[in-house]
Amino acid sequence: MERSGLGTISGHIQLLTTQQKCIATLALFCCSAVLMVLIFSSVDIWGDSEDGITEENCSRDCRQIGILYSRLSRTERLSLPQGQLLFQRLLRLKSRGVKLKIASSLTNSSELKALAAHNAQVRFINMTALTKGGLHSSFWIVDRTHIYIGSAEMDWRSLSKRKELGVVVYNCSCLALDLHRVFSFYWQLHDRDYIPSIWSKRVTALYGKHEALELQLNTTPATAYLSTSPEHFCPKDRTRDLDAIHQVIQSAKTFIFISVTDYLPLVKRSFRGTSLIREAVVLRGVKVRLLISFWKKTHPLTFNFVTSLKTLCMQLHNCSLEVRFFSHKEQKEDFQLGLNHNKYMVTDNAVYLGTHDWVGSDFAKNAGVGLVVRMKDSTKDTGSTILEHIKASFERDWRSRYAKNLQKSKDQQGKYRLLQWSKSQWETKEEKEWNNPL
C-alpha cells in the first residue's frame, strides 16, 4: 500500500512538472511572438552596416575647412550651371563604384527619378502622414568620415539664388557615425505612415547636450553634438533642437548673434520655456543682435515680436538688443533672388547651425537637424575656429547695405505686400494654442 501511495504521489509530481513545463513553454512562445511583433514594428532592428566604425575606434581629430556660403553679386544668375555640374557628378558616381543613398520627402522630382535610374537608392519619407510637416534636414555623410550640414537644400535655388551657410568637417568619423544614425532613422521610415514606438540601438544618439563628443577641431579642443526635431523624431539620448538652442543661449556670456530667414517664436503652451533672450539681455547683460530676412513671405507678427524685444532696453543701462532686416534687391518675378536663407546662432563660446527657421511650427512638425559646437577655451581663439568664421560672416552681413533697421523695414511693408495674412486669419482655432517662449 505504501509503495502504491508513493507511486501515486510520484505520478502526480511528474504530471505537475509536465504541466508546468507546458505552461512555461507556452508563456515563452507568447512572449517571443510579442517580442517579434515589436521588433518588426520598430525602426531598423538589425540596422544598416556601420562599416566597423564604433565609438571606440572612430576619429576625433577632425578638420573643419571653413564655412561654405554663397556670395551676392550681379552675376549670381550666371551660377545656375553650378547646380547642373553637381547633378552631373552625382550621376557619374555609379561609374566610380560609389553608392548613393537619398532620403527625401519630395514625391515628384525629376532629378531624383534620374538619379534612381542611375543606381541611386532613393527613399520617400511621407512626412505628411507622419507629422503633417516636411523633411527640412540638409546634410551629407561621406564614407562615414566626412560630413556637411547647413541651410542649403539640394535644389538650384540654394546654389544660385539664395544666400546659404554651411560647414564641412573632414576626418570626423565619430560625428559622422552619429549623423549616420539620424539618416538611418529617416531611411527606415520609408513607406511608413506611423512613427514606431520602439527605437533600435542603431538609431539612438551617441552624443547629446549632457554628454557631448570630445574632439579636436583644427587642433583646437572642442565639444560637439547633434540635435533633431520634431520631438517624435528624437530617439533615446537625442537632444531636441529647441533644447540645443536654449543651452547655447543660456551659456552665452558676452554676445549672441542670430541669423534666420523667418522669426516667429511660437511653441505649444504645454512647453514651459522661459524667455531666454530677454533673460540673457536684461539679467546677464549679454549683447544680442538678431538678423532676420525681409521678403514677401515675412509674417507681419514678426514685427510685433521684435518690437517687444527692443522695448526691453528703452530705459535700462548696459542693455543691448539690436534687430535688423536683411533685404536684398528683389526682382518682381523672382522673390528668392538674394534671399538670406541662413539659420544659425553664434555666441562667444558656441555655435548652433540648424536647418529650421525660428518658427515654432517648424520645430513641432518638420524634420530638422542641428549641430552644436563649443570651443573649450574661446579666449585663445586665433581667428581660425568655427566660431570666429561664423561670427565674421554674421558681422559682414550685419554691416551690409542690405541690412536695414526695423523702422525702414516696416515702412516697406506695403511695397512688398507683406500683409497677405491678417491677425484674424493667423489666430485660427489650432494656432491659438501657441505662445512665445523666447
Cα-to-chain-centroid distance, residue 344: 11
- Report whether 75 contacts 60 (CB < 8 A): no
Which amino acid belongs to residue 179? L
Mean pLDDT of 325-353: 82
* 3 state DSSP class of 162: coil
Superfamily of domain 61-435: Endonuclease Chain A (3.30.870.10)
pLDDT computed for residue 273 by the predictor: 43
**Who contacts 121 (Cβ-Cβ below 8 Å, separation ≥6)?**
99, 100, 101, 102
The distance of Cα 127 from the centroid of its chain, to the nearest Å, equals 15
Note the pLDDT of residue 427: 43
The pair phi, psi for residue 375, each rounded to 5°, is: -85, 135
Mean pLDDT of 282-292: 93
- Residue 49: is its pLDDT beyond 80? no
Of 4-18, 209-223, 255-269, 325-339, highest mean pLDDT: 209-223
pLDDT score of 24 more than 70 = no
Identify the sign of the CA torsion 344, 311, 417, 429.
positive
- Of 215-229, 250-264, 332-346, which range is least confident? 332-346
Name the least confident of 42-46, 94-98, 137-141, 351-355.
Answer: 42-46
pLDDT-derived band at 36 (thresholds 50, 70, 90) equals very low
Burial class (CB in 10 A: 0-12, 13-18, 19+), 397: buried
Q: Is the peptide bond before 265 cis (omega within 30 degrees of 0)?
A: no
pLDDT at 92 over 70: yes
Angle between helices 110-117 and 80-91 (to 10 degrees): 30
pLDDT at residue 226 is higher than 90: yes
pLDDT of residue 315: 76
Torsions phi, psi of 54, nearest 5?
Answer: -130, 175
Per the CB < 8 A criterion, the answer to whether 130 and 195 are in contact is: yes
Q: How far does CA 391 lie from the centroid of its chain?
A: 20
What's the pLDDT score for residue 435? 47
> What is each CA distance from 270 to 35, 58, 273, 301, 434, in whole angstroms?
34, 39, 9, 21, 9
Place of cell 544598416: 48
Mean pLDDT of 297-303: 87
Predicted pLDDT at 14: 45
* Residue-level pLDDT at 72: 57
Classify 79 as helix, strand or coil: helix
Q: Is the pLDDT of residue 146 over 70?
A: yes
- pLDDT at 298 exceeding the cut of 80: yes
Give the distance, in angstroms, between the CA of residue 5 and the centroid of all CA atoms in the same chain.
Answer: 75
Confidence (pLDDT) at 310? 83
Enumerate the domain spans of the chain: 61-435
Cell of 165: 551657410
CA proximity to 72, closest of 415, 401, 404: 401
Residue 387 C-beta-side C-alpha neighbours within 13 Å: 27
**Largest CA-CA distance found in the chain, in angstroms, rounded:** 112
> Which residue would you say has higher pLDDT here, 378 or 365?
365
The average pLDDT across 112-118 equals 91
Reported confidence tier of residue 252, pLDDT bands at 50, 70, 90: very high
Task: Give CA–CA dist 268/398, Å, rounded.
Answer: 31
Which of 126-135, 233-242, 324-333, 354-363 comes out lowest in average pLDDT? 324-333
Confidence of residue 407 (pLDDT cuts 50, 70, 90): low
Specify the range with the lowest mean pLDDT, choosing from 22-26, 116-120, 427-431. Answer: 427-431
Confidence class for position 71, pLDDT limits 50, 70, 90? low
Pairing between β-strand 434-435 and β-strand 403-405 as defined by DSSP bridges: unpaired
What pTM value is reported for the model? Answer: 0.80
Percent share of the chain, pLDDT over 90: 44
Q: What is the pLDDT of residue 384?
A: 75
413 — pLDDT class (breaks 50, 70, 90): low
Q: CB atoms < 10 A from the CB of 212, how many? A: 17
Task: Give the amino acid at 175.
Answer: L
Q: Alpha-carbon distance 354 to 373, whole Å?
A: 12
Mean model confidence pLDDT for the chain? 78
What pLDDT is stored for residue 44 in this prediction?
41
Which cell numbers in the block locate residue 427?
489666430
How long, in residues, is the chain?
Answer: 438
DSSP string, 332-388: TTBTTTT-B--EEEEESSEEEE-SS-EEHHHHHHSBEEEEEEEES-GGG--S-SHHH
Kindly tell me the burial class for residue 401, based on how many C-beta atoms sit within 10 Å of its own C-beta (0-12, 13-18, 19 or more). exposed
Give the pLDDT confidence of 171-211 residue by residue, as tens digits.
Answer: 999 999 999 999 999 999 998 898 888 878 889 999 999 99
Average pLDDT rounded to a whole number, residues 207-232: 94
Range in 5-19, 55-69, 71-85 with the lowest mean pLDDT: 5-19
What would the pLDDT profile of 425-435 be if each residue is shown by its tens digit? Answer: 444 444 444 44
Q: State how far the Cα of 338 lies from the Cα of 328, in Å rounded to an integer.
A: 5
pLDDT for the residue numbered 360: 81
- Angle, vertex CA 369, rays to CA 341 and CA 171, nearest 5: 100
Report how far residue 291's alpha carbon sits from residue 298's, in angstroms, rounded to the nearest whole number. 13
Q: Between these two residues, 257 and 317, which has the higher pLDDT value?
A: 257
